[in-house]
Amino acid sequence: MIRSELDAAGIEDPRLREGYRRCRELNAAHGRTFFLATRLLAPDQRPAVHALYGFARYADDILDDLDPHLRTDIRAQRLQELADRFFSAGDHLDDPVLAAVTDTARRYRIGSDLFDDFLTSMRMDLTVTDYPDRAALNLYMRGSAEAIGLQVLPVLGTVVPVEEAAPYAAALGRAFQLTNFLRDIDEDLLRHRVYLPADELAAHGVDRELLTWCHQHRRTDPRVRKALAAQHQITRETYRFADAGIAMLSPRSQPCVAAASTLYSEILDRIEESGFAVFNHRATVGKARRLQVAGIGLLRSWRARNSSPGVSDRPGAA
């Protein structure tokens, strides 16, 4: 399967092909829902999306290396080395993941500023553990979530000017990450991080101490439940805005993005149905439901790819 995808994308260099294979493996191993959605893309689009995911995972693994003896300054040094290698001239064929992502950036003319924004947010994770308000959290998400959506946009293609679709692509990236923040609050506490605005939590009488109590006792305090319900509503509104932009994408890309949005937003359903029991239960969408959504998306994707191709089917077209 991967061979046919690389052939469809016109990737012929054996060393580059190895890099794209490695990125696909990272996506399959760590991005279950995301990987399933990429199966709905046309074969020639998939390697680029895998490469972008692989680079993000590369940086994330530096930050979240579980070695307790790995000092912050060492993590910062490794992250800086990654940035220096990425932004340096050359094809990076000595590093499979960097080779694939730099090739993707060149093919789709993805601006280096988006990668710089991403790495800036990754640096924030080295020292920032709390966010005082929504503005501070949004600043973090500009690089950690919105930049990802904007990186992927040229690969997906659009039927409107790219700048018109960009706010919706950025919002969908933000919606996905807000979902993760709610689902993974217990796991993030283990890393001493809280990705929820402190002032909005405080409005419900919630602070880090109370969240830690919930983590230790594996239960959700009523005040925390109300605070999480408010965050849940904000995330829902973000999905509603982002979903309005799906029709702006190339028809062959719409089934993939619609399926990803559906599956991620249904994680919110599971969180709500559990009564926000995020401290003793990790919300997931069942395999049967994932396959159902994927099956519907696959049929729509097949129909779109077999209709008359338009301008939007070309890489980076608008």
DSSP notation for 246-314: GGGB-TTTHHHHHHHHHHHHHHHHHHHHTTS-TTS------HHHHHHHHHHHHHHHHHHHTS---GGGS
pLDDT for residue 316: 44
pLDDT value, residue 178: 98
Does the pLDDT at position 168 exceed 50? yes
The CATH architecture assigned to 128-306 reads: Orthogonal Bundle (1.10)
State residue 65's pLDDT score.
Answer: 65
Using CA atoms, how far residue 291 sits from 41, 49, 259, in Å, is: 15, 20, 10
Residue 228 in tokens? 């999480």
- Give the model's pLDDT for residue 306: 80
pLDDT tens, position by position, 19-31: 999 999 998 888 7
Q: Quick one: pLDDT at residue 305? A: 80
Residue 98 pLDDT exceeds 70: yes
User: Are the CB atoms for 50 and 101 separated by under 8 Å?
Assistant: no
Q: Please say if the pLDDT value at position 269 is more than 90.
A: yes
**Do residues 246 and 261 make contact, with C-beta atoms less than 8 angstroms apart?**
yes
Residue whose C-alpha is closest to residue 34's, from 278, 268, 264: 264
- The Cα–Cα gap between 100 and 95 comes to 9
pLDDT of residue 67: 65
pLDDT for 40-58, tens place per residue? 999 999 999 999 999 999 8
158, β-bridge pairs: 249
- Indicate the angle between helix axes 147-156 and 112-127, nearest 10 degrees: 150
Of 6-20, 84-98, 112-126, 137-151, give the lowest mean pLDDT range: 84-98
Under DSSP, the state recorded for 227 is H
Give me the residues paired with residue 249 across strands.
Answer: 158
**Cα gap 136→71, rounded to integer Å:** 25
% of the chain surpassing 90 pLDDT: 76
Distance CA 231, CA 99 (A): 38
Range list of H helices, the chain: 2-8, 14-30, 32-38, 46-63, 72-87, 96-108, 112-127, 134-141, 147-156, 162-183, 185-190, 198-202, 208-217, 222-243, 254-273, 287-305
Q: Which of 53-62, 118-127, 195-204, 281-290 has the highest mean pLDDT?
A: 195-204
Residue 180 CB coordination number (10 Å): 17
Q: What is the three-class DSSP state of 131?
A: strand
Asked if residue 232 lies in contact with residue 274, where contact means CB atoms within 8 angstroms, the answer is no
> Would you kindly state where each structural domain of the chain is located, as residue ranges?
1-126, 128-306
Rg (CA), the chain: 20
Q: Does the pLDDT value for residue 182 go beyond 70?
A: yes
